[in-house]
Amino acid sequence: MARQTRQRILDASLAMFNAQGEPNVTTNHIADELEISPGNLYYHFRNKDDIIEHLFGRYEERIDAALGAPTDRLPGLEDIWLLLHLVFECIWDYRFLYRDLADILSRNRRLRIRFARILRLADEQAHDVMRGLSQAGVMRASAAELDAAATNVLVIATFWMNYASARGDKDEQVSIRAGIVQVMMLLAPFLRDAERVHLNTLTRAYID
């Protein structure tokens, strides 16, 4: 029963943080939403930052899994597409972390360290993928161009959902599809002719 209550608190907190913004939600609001006493909530979590830290743990586990790429072969465009889809879905599901990122990280040194680790991992993955696409003959680009493309991919993938939210997008799947297409278009100028045709085919099928 205690475990179930703990999960309900985390689930309700995530939904409320995403819908209302983390700064606008208090532990009393969460307790009222669940129809439990504040004391019951504090039995499971010390304070709101404790709840946020546990939600970050959920996010961290999921984003680490999403950032995985093939290790037994060179990547193709479909691999990048799938990786981006998993990353965008994770960011959307935990969008309050990104929307209120500066404030949350300013209050918690442990989360600053953990988020910095995720960015380093994502940066390494983006650069590895760009080099893999080049080695596979999918892209034609200099080392400097590959580095720049990797950084641009990382920046847009990290903050696209913030951008979509700020402009008032309401449809999660439309925002995710638009973000993935935007990222993939960064690669288009460097793709070989056949791969560019393949990308256009993938894009049309994905949008339709």
For 195-203, what is the mean pLDDT? 91
Q: pLDDT at position 202, please?
A: 87
Average pLDDT value over all residues in the chain: 92
Q: What is the pLDDT of residues 109-125, one digit of tens each?
A: 999 999 999 999 999 99
Q: CA–CA separation, 14 vs 21, rounded Å?
A: 10
Percent of the chain residues topping a pLDDT of 70: 99
Q: CA–CA separation, 111 vs 105, rounded Å?
A: 6
pTM over 0.75: yes
Query: How far, in Å, are 30, 38, 199 from residue 47 at the CA level?
Result: 11, 10, 48
Q: What is the pLDDT of residues 15-60, one digit of tens each?
A: 999 999 999 999 999 999 999 999 999 999 999 999 999 999 999 9
| H helix and E strand count, the chain | 11, 0
The pLDDT confidence band at residue 131, using thresholds 50, 70 and 90, is very high
Q: Which residue in 61, 66, 64, 51 sits closest to 14, CA to CA?
A: 51
7, two tokens: 């999960």
Q: CA–CA separation, 36 vs 109, rounded Å?
A: 30
Q: What is the pLDDT of residues 76-108, one digit of tens each?
A: 898 888 899 999 999 999 999 998 899 999 999
In degrees, rounded to 5, the angle at the alpha carbon of residue 181 between the alpha carbons of residues 180 and 184 is 85
For 180-193, what is the mean pLDDT? 94
Domains of the chain plus CATH, in order, are 1-45 (1.10.10.60), 48-207 (1.10.357.10)
Q: pLDDT at position 1, please?
A: 65
